[in-house]
Amino acid sequence: MMTQRTVCWQTEKTPVDYERAVAFMEAKVAAIRNRGDNDLVWLLEHPPLYTAGTSANARDLVAPAFPVYQTGRGGQYTYHGPGQRVAYVMMDLQKRGADLRGYICDLEEWVITALQAFNVRGERREGRVGIWVAAKGSEAKIAAIGVRVRKWVTYHGLAINLDPDLTHYNGMVPCGIREYGVTSLRQLGVNVSMDELDRALRRSWDGIFGPAP
């Protein structure tokens, strides 16, 4: 008799060192592929840092004030720091149709649905990765997405700006996009806690991804 797989959730209460997070994810990816471990959603914050994706352009690193980590995820430069909810998703895509494009679309929809709980309208933009919102007569990015897949198991994931120090983005060009800025729930006047954001993410999960196959 086969054991029903479940999606496990793990939440960290203190910032997690980036190198430790990557080592943890790589070990979990191997355990999912080799031992059939359950999928995992890992919610955390990082200390202030920048990461460079596989498409990062060195000229977009303008004046880095924090450590810069090279990473195998897709995308360009981004910032992580306190006040930002990072959601790393380690998931076996072979059991979900082996559709990477569909998975990224689902991550976007997950953010959009969670933001609706706070009456924030997040939107996709053609040719621009991430989730965007109306801000100060223009638009700005509120969530970044960057994933990596190894043997059809995902890792890395997304980051939603709840209340980070937005001046920390000044050290690089976020995702290589110079025309638009970044924002946060707090800057939009939405005063919610990290726990409330986490609950919104958990409530919206099954409607997007369904139960683990």
**Measuring CA to CA, which residue among 130, 88, 114, 107 is closest to residue 185?**
114
Catalytic residue among 49, 175, 182, 201: 175
Inter-residue contact 129 to 147 (CB < 8 Å): no
Cα distance between residue 16 and residue 10, in whole Å:
13
Which residues share a beta bridge with 80?
Answer: 49
Q: CA separation (Å) from 175 to 32, 139, 169? A: 30, 15, 11
Neighbours of 124 (CB within 10 A): 14
Cα distance between residue 71 and residue 22, in whole Å:
9
**Is beta strand 153-161 parallel, antiparallel or unpaired with respect to 138-150?**
antiparallel
Rg of the chain over all Cα atoms, to the nearest angstrom = 16
175 in active site: yes
Catalytic residues: 175
